Amino acid sequence: MRICLLKTVSNTIRKQCYSTRNVRKVTHCIFDMDGLLLDTEQVYKKMITQLCAKYGHEYTDELMMKVLGGTEQRLSEILCKDLNLPVSPKEFRDQLLELGDTMLAGSPLLDGAERLIRHLHKTQVPFALATSSSERSVKTKIASYKDLFSHFHHMVMGSTDKEVKFGKPHPDIFLVAAARFPDKPKPEKCLVFEDSPHGVTAGVSAGMQVVMVPDPHLDKRLTSHATIVLPSLAKFQPEIFGLPPF
């Protein structure tokens, strides 16, 4: 079976098709948050750019790809080391969190996110959140959507969860998220939703299928390891993975 989507590129409508031949049925879903459910990636870019500029450095696209999807600790360690910043990773992270308290508040939901979450809740499909963010950042970001995010069975916050030993691209966060469902589904029964290459690698390494919704400017070669790639969550067809259709 193949699914085909119409996508507008440079004012030209193009047809993109994906094979579903090797797709397996799932029972549980696990979502990333930043850049997938909430439009926060550009805000993070502004925050980090601002902090790097404070110390006379540029936050390049190369650096951004290096830290994308990782924990706050790992991001801070990489930037402090690569840019030789005159602060410790902890100090850098503290400054990042402080900026986030105001800049991340009220971040808008991305296309298709609310519809999918409410659909899974209505049809009683168990789903969880697996984000690299800290509990502090998550509280700020979801404050405007408390009702919507209350539908998640649980949330794993990689930057502050002691059971997550290693952040993405390691599989820890998704394995922890799966283990916290009451029925403890096997990895192959879990479907991960991600936007970053590191996140997809983590999901695949955990033995799970991954629906990727990448930034439209991302190099297509960095999306090849996902099960399927979609332009937005609004294009997701649950029945392909054995889930109740819309």
Give me the active site residues, please: 32, 34
- Preceding omega of 197 cis (within 30 degrees of 0): no
| DSSP one-letter string for 119-186 | HHHHTT--EEEEESS-HHHHHHHHGGGHHHHTTSS-EEETTT-TT--S-TTSSHHHHHHHHTSTT---
The residue written with tokens 């997701």 in the block is 236
* Closest to 222 in 3D by CA, of 202, 196, 204: 196
**Residues making up the chain, counted from first to last:** 246
Residue 80, CA distances (Å) to 47, 52, 85, 89 in order: 15, 9, 5, 6
Residue 111, CA distances (Å) to 115, 231, 236 in order: 9, 10, 11
For residue 93, what is the enclosing H or E element? helix 89-103
Instruction: Tell me if 1 sits within 8 A of 20, measured CB to CB.
Output: yes
> If DSSP codes are grouped into helix, strand and coil, which group holds residue 7?
strand
And the tokens for 169?
A: 């691209």
